[in-house]
Amino acid sequence: MADKNGKIVLDPIYGMIELDALAVKIIDTPCFQRLRYIKQLSVADFVYPGATHTRFAHSIGVYHLACEMIKRIKSQGLSEAVRLTDKEETCLRVAALCHDIGHGPFSHTYEHIFKDELKDVKHEHISVFLVEKMFKDNINFDLEKEKFDIGLIQALIQGNYDDYIKVDPEMKVKKYLFQIVSNKTSGMDVDKWDYFNRDAIACGVPERFQFDRALHVAGVFKVNGVYELSYREHDAFSFYNMYNTRLTLYRKVYRHRVVVAVELMVKDVFQIVSEANKSPAKSGKENKDGSYHVSEENENSAKPDNV
């Protein structure tokens, strides 16, 4: 292992995953550690007992795939004007690792429960907020030494290419950077590659997407004056399989009638607790920075009269 301060973890999908020193620092923060207790598929284990994997494992998987994609892109020998800089590479790794730290309890179910209160706020927006908070609150991070660009990391998490190039027009040519973690152009990104396979394996769904082949055929090419993440035309069927895997998971897992029914029960519980505290979606203890910990619920919420 090249990084003496890094670690190696064993993943059921990819085998050995190398974590660099920066990744280890991030993983060791309370902000990231909470992902250990958030199930990737919320209440799907009521139907599929094996669906108990977490956002923690998924995030490390996405980090690994992003690192592999970086290796693939660097092997192309792109010109200096469009190749990855050290700072951009660092930002990509951090964005991949931190893309889901904004998830609340019960993962996407939480967003569905409080969609009226949260309005257009998604977990990606909360991730963007928490990334900045995590780096500013933790004395172990030296923003200059670690080659951080928090603004770029936040844009990469959201795939926010159009807005970011208004701030930094020189990045316009490198559109491919914004298509690795969250691809708003085609939907083909390392986030989906990981959870399609991780969810399918956990639930025993036979349809699988060949992410290793996708990595092997990925490339950066000039399209309408900018460089985008592209794939060979004769590999189109492989990506059809990706979308078919997604459809299968939605039909058999994500929107399974029992899963939806249990989600509605969870929603009822949250609404009862919120009403008891007269503050929907913010029923936990308020911190100095205005954030809330739902786990620090007021004691009166647990009284038989209120729950």
DSSP 186-203: TS--HHHHHHHHHHHHHH
C-beta neighbour count of 289 within 10 angstroms: 8
Q: What residues does each domain of the chain span? A: 7-255
- Identify whether the C-beta of residue 266 lies closer than 8 Å to the C-beta of residue 109: yes
Look at residue 88 and give its three-state secondary structure: helix
pTM above 0.75, yes or no: yes
Look at residue 286 and give its three-state secondary structure: strand
Q: Which residues are known catalytic residues? A: 123
- Identify whether the C-beta of residue 238 lies closer than 8 Å to the C-beta of residue 213: yes
Beta strands in 181-277 (DSSP E): 219-223, 226-230
- Identify whether the C-beta of residue 134 lies closer than 8 Å to the C-beta of residue 29: yes
Look at residue 270 and give its three-state secondary structure: helix
CATH architecture, range 7-255: Orthogonal Bundle (1.10)
* Ordered per-residue pLDDT tens for the chain, 307 residues: 557 789 999 999 999 999 999 999 999 998 899 999 999 998 999 999 999 999 999 999 999 999 999 999 999 999 998 999 999 999 999 999 999 988 777 766 666 666 666 566 565 677 777 888 887 777 566 655 556 788 999 999 999 999 999 999 999 999 999 999 999 999 999 999 999 999 999 999 988 888 888 899 999 999 999 999 998 888 888 888 889 999 999 999 999 999 999 988 988 887 777 776 655 455 455 566 555 555 555 444 444 343 3
- Identify whether the C-beta of residue 201 lies closer than 8 Å to the C-beta of residue 12: yes
Question: How far, in Å, CA of 174 to CA of 294, rounded?
Answer: 40
Look at residue 114 and give its three-state secondary structure: coil
